[in-house]
Chain A
Amino acid sequence: MRDSILTARLGIPAVALVTEAFWSQGDFVANSTGMPDIPRVKLPHPIAGSGEDNMSKVAKGVAPKIIQFLANENGIN
């Protein structure tokens, strides 16, 4: 979350990838840093160590949303 906020503050489009278990922490960080609308995409939890096949499947599912945010469609900046 913080990496994406710092990146966005530099004027570079950024999207935070946040797993379900950390979604509320993501909201907290976004609000506490004054960027409540920082784009974020929800991933299943856990994702780390879940295997290449699973991660590829998840990546395919969320890639369009990430691209949409990076293209600044429904994103911020």
Chain B
Amino acid sequence: MFDAKSENDALENLHQMGCTDGLPVVVPTPERVSRMVLATGLDPDLNLGIMGPMHGVATVEKVAVAAVMAGCTPDHAPIVVASVRAVCRPEFDLTEMQSTTHCTAPLVIVTGAARYSCGGVASGFGALGPGHRANASIGRALRLAMLNIGGARPGTSDMSLHGHPGKFTYCIAEDEENSPFPGLHTSFGYEADQSAVIITGAEAPHSTMFSGDADDPASIDYLLNVISMVMANPGSNNVHLRDGSFSIILNPDHAEIIKRAGLSREDTQSELTKRATISVGTLRKVGSKFSVQDDQDDHELVQVLKDPSKIILFQAGGSGLYTMVMPSWCAGPHKNAVVHAEIELDQACEIPAMTLQ
């Protein structure tokens, strides 16, 4: 807590204290933070989890500070709270993930009715890019919490060699209504009418081009092949360390090809798991020290992952040629497991005439 003569002075103080992501933030005045806390419907001292590597206690109030700074509206609060709860689960390996030299950032996937009731989280054209306030603010709030509560500062505690643009914000909604699959959250045990965040540690999106042909029944094979080849990119951690997660965002056209072929989400996950292979010879060509035994033949194919459920497969984005594949960090005691938390909409309070001023 500090006093400042003006909003501008307060902002400069925050920059100098290293509390921002480098961009201007909304100054978290006590009144703004109180309103954000009220919007969560939770006690300000409630502990949502411990955030490493600094082991800061993520109270509702501290998370509300991050949400205000990120430019969130009160409508966004339930998703921010759920996101913090999710990344604090031990199996996410937050401490190690924040400290690694790898480029990984939590990708927040918003599912269920909260996509609409929490400020309109975008799932269409450019949803991972600029111009979508909810996506930008929610992902940024999580990052500011990881920075200021978790203490991950570049070069001293966050040792990512190059960083990652998704470390500013990385949030997208599922396009469930146009998807051939049930809501992604139902794959994690939620009822269809619930809402949840699914969070994966993800690299930047790797563009995967395929131009389908409705008259060519082989389109489904081509599509599955190209996606699985990108998954088996010999430069990614997933190939060398194996059995980590993938996030795959199908564009509507590619999802339609899968629908026409009659494949369910589980069928598609299984097919991709079978096809995402790399030869021992290729691994030897790139000098892999982690995963090749001396007695293995160059022609032997090794699977990049064994568990199909580690492929987080959903539809989002605009219509066209490109699907996005995000490999993961694939390390940490729990391999930076995919985590999730319910977005509790019934906890939220409506704040009369609430605007952030």
Instruction: List residues of chain A with CB under 8 Å of any chain B CB.
Output: 2, 22, 24-25, 28-29, 32-33
Q: Is the CB of B54 within 8 A of A32?
A: yes
Contacting residue for B151 out of A2, A22, A24, A32, CB 8 A: A32
Q: Is the interface of B mostly helix, strand, loop or mixed?
A: loop
Interface contact B55-A25, CB-CB below 8 Å: no
Q: Which residues of A contact B151 (CB under 8 A)?
A: 28, 32
Decide: B53 and A22 in contact? CB cutoff 8 A.
no
Give Cα A73 to B94, complex, Å: 35
Shortest beta-carbon distance from A48 to chain B in Å = 10
Q: How distant is the Cα of A22 from the Cα of B157 in the complex, in angstroms?
A: 9
- Greatest chain B CB density within 10 A among A22, A32, A33 is at A32
Contact among B55, B96, B155, B159 for A32, CB-based, below 8 A:
B55
Apart from A25-B156, A28-B151, A29-B157, what are 18 other A-B pairs with CB-CB below 8 Å?
A2-B95, A2-B96, A22-B159, A24-B155, A24-B156, A25-B157, A25-B159, A28-B53, A28-B54, A28-B156, A28-B157, A29-B53, A29-B99, A32-B52, A32-B53, A32-B55, A32-B151, A32-B157
Chain B positions 45 through 71: 1 when the CB is less than 8 Å from some CB of chain A, otherwise 0: 000000011110000000000000000
Chain A residues with CB under 8 A of B156: 24-25, 28
Contacts A/B (CB < 8 Å), 9 sampled:
A2-B95, A25-B156, A25-B157, A28-B53, A28-B156, A32-B52, A32-B53, A32-B54, A32-B55
